[in-house]
Chain A
Amino acid sequence: MTDKPILVVKDLQKSYDNKKVVNGISFEVKKGEIFGILGPNGAGKTTTLEMIEALRPIDGGSATIDGIDVASNPYKIRSIIGVQPQSPAFQDKTKLSELINLFAAAYGEKVNVQEFLADVDLQEKAESYIETLSGGQKQRFSIAAALVHNPKVFFMDEPTTGLDPQARRNLWDLVRHVRDKGISVILTTHYMDEAEVLCDRVAVMESGNIVALDSPQKLIKDLLKRGFKKQQHVEQANLEDVFIDLTGKELRG
């Protein structure tokens, strides 16, 4: 991880019907960082992402990725970012190999399909139709499809919602793998355990504002410093550990 920011957001604003949904937020994401945006539903997470992804017009402020202004160069921005939507959907009756070719072509590129499928452990499914994949496999495939053009920033909107614990853990490994390639990852999530183990830094949003921004460990320490105490259980394991112990770490489907 270097300190050079790849994404710079300054005073970003968005209103719907005179109601501020994103209220002038600013943050930076460093190169090779996993950055989490947390917050309850309606806090403005998805709107923020969509503005940075050049999918929604920016009302005020600015966002630049790798020095390129999002608002004035939407097509340039789209060619250097990868986007994993909340629920990955692909047109049916299409083979995985064809979908990889389709997405590569959308960026004007031709790629080695097997290489990308091997990266997400789906090489033997190359000639299968997308609708035959399980939920976890679809998530993994969706990541491969979003990375065909070797983007600089990778956006993931609630990537593990609806996945079983095995698939979640597998996906965390994948996200780290993507980060290790030097791609910055920006994700939103409702799972605090996920943010804690995965993200280098998190921004907590509430009603369109960023109310905290730091590493998960630092935020926890700060809270404890303020005198917060939680009823402590001394068990060194939780129910998820039991579940993983009983059912194994091996990926299903």
Chain B
Amino acid sequence: MKRKLFTVLTFARINTRRYFRDRTAIFFTVAFPLIFLFVFGGLFGNSNNGVSFKVALLNQSSSQVSKDIAKELNDGKILKVNSDVTTIDEAKQRMNRGEIDATIILPQNFGETKKGTTYPSGQAEILYSQNNQQAAQTLQSVLQGEFKAINAKLVDNKEPFTVTSTQTNDQSLSSFDYTFTGLLGFSIMGLGIFGPINIFPELKKQGILRRFHTTPIRVWQYFSATMITQAVVGLFAIGVQFAVAMSVFHLKLVGNPIELAIYIVLGIMMILGIGLALGGWAKNERQAAPLSNIVVFPMMFLSGTFFPRFLMPEWLQNVSNFLPLTPVIDGIRLIATEGKHFVDILPQLGLVSLWGIVIYAIAFRVFRWE
């Protein structure tokens, strides 16, 4: 037995070293997912930092109040004021092209003190296109809020009924948490499935596997060595992604890192079994490609790699619950961003183990050395 393990460890050690010499492999396992991370992180990453509107501000008044308000809107974080726009026609053009969400007009008489009053007054106008009704409504309440503060300084105003909102301190999930763990699922799938289905047919074509077959090495030894190599490579690749997500996209890792690492390794090994089964069975690329597409694409779209599963209709969620990749992604998210422990994610652990047994039973049966 000791000699059999020596075989496994030697294969694992040399093949792991070999992986880190392979620039193409490093690109696809480390750099490629990072590109996705930056693209999707850029799309979804800022959604919890408040809404921002791109507006044009046309100040037609020369009053002091209008200048003050214009300055305040310019400096504020909620609005991004496009200062290139100076006429209504130009503003309309840009709204039609979708470059700005709405236009705020402070008319000529804005801020003047009307006869019979002691304070300045005026009515700002919000111009918006049909497609931007929602943005305009939000913008209207934003402006009302701003004006309310100014009004209070000018006139003594009683408000018997008011509404306030308070943020709870519970950690709520940002859509980035879902995006990120989905992307991790994508890179685990890349490692475990795309890797073997590309490599094994090539190894068979060149007769490299056949050569090992002339030695007494057993399939389980070869599989175990591959699993160890993949676990090391996978932890490295996913570690890099966590580092980037935490430093660039402010992901908060609240779970236990060791539990997380163990769960990731489990997930990698189970998904790798699919790659070993497909790549181990296929005699050549032509056999491997169509079958892997049948397996990979449903998982890619239904397991929450590119968009969260909570957006799907309920029946589809129920189906996708049982795909192999789903518990991997959910488990990683539950541990990493919700701080859950193994005892809390027994359903996910169970499903990963069950799939692991089924997949490896198939992989051992269908493996061919040539």
How distant is the Cα of A101 from the Cα of B3 in the complex, in angstroms?
A: 14
Contacts A78-B216, A79-B216, A98-B17; is A89 near B211 (CB within 8 Å)?
A: yes
Is A106 at the interface (CB under 8 A from chain B)? yes
Is B21 at the interface (CB under 8 A from chain A)? yes
Residues of A within 8 A of B252 (CB): none
Interface residues on A, range: 20 to 34
Q: Is the pair B215, A107 in contact by a Cβ cutoff of 8 Å?
A: yes
Q: Is the pair A108, B4 in contact by a Cβ cutoff of 8 Å?
A: yes
Q: Is the pair A93, B214 in contact by a Cβ cutoff of 8 Å?
A: no
Q: Is the pair B215, A89 in contact by a Cβ cutoff of 8 Å?
A: no
Q: Of the candidates B11, B207, B208, which one forms a contact with A105 in the assembled complex, judged by CB atoms under 8 Å apart?
A: B11
B212 to A: closest C-beta gap in Å: 6
Residues 150-183 of chain A, each 1 if its beta carbon lies under 8 Å from chain B, else 0: 0000000000000000000000000000000000
Is A37 at the interface (CB under 8 A from chain B)? no
Residues of B within 8 A of A94 (CB): 14, 18
In the complex formed, the residue of B with least CB distance to A90 is: B208
How distant is the Cα of A28 from the Cα of B75 in the complex, in angstroms?
A: 95
Is A9 at the interface (CB under 8 A from chain B)? no
B214 to A: closest C-beta gap in Å: 4
Is B314 at the interface (CB under 8 A from chain A)? no
Q: Is the pair A89, B208 in contact by a Cβ cutoff of 8 Å?
A: yes
Contacts A105-B7, A106-B216; is A89 near B14 (CB within 8 Å)?
A: no
Q: Is the pair A102, B208 in contact by a Cβ cutoff of 8 Å?
A: no
Q: Is the pair A93, B216 in contact by a Cβ cutoff of 8 Å?
A: no
Q: Is the pair B215, A53 in contact by a Cβ cutoff of 8 Å?
A: no
Q: Is the pair B7, A108 in contact by a Cβ cutoff of 8 Å?
A: yes
How distant is the Cα of A101 from the Cα of B207 in the complex, in angstroms?
A: 19
Is A55 at the interface (CB under 8 A from chain B)? yes
Contacts A83-B211, A91-B203, A94-B18; is A101 near B216 (CB within 8 Å)?
A: no
Q: List 23 A-B contacts (CB under 8 A).
A: A53-B214, A76-B216, A78-B215, A79-B215, A79-B216, A83-B214, A85-B207, A85-B210, A88-B211, A89-B207, A91-B203, A93-B18, A93-B21, A93-B22, A94-B14, A101-B10, A101-B14, A102-B10, A105-B11, A106-B212, A106-B216, A109-B3, A146-B214
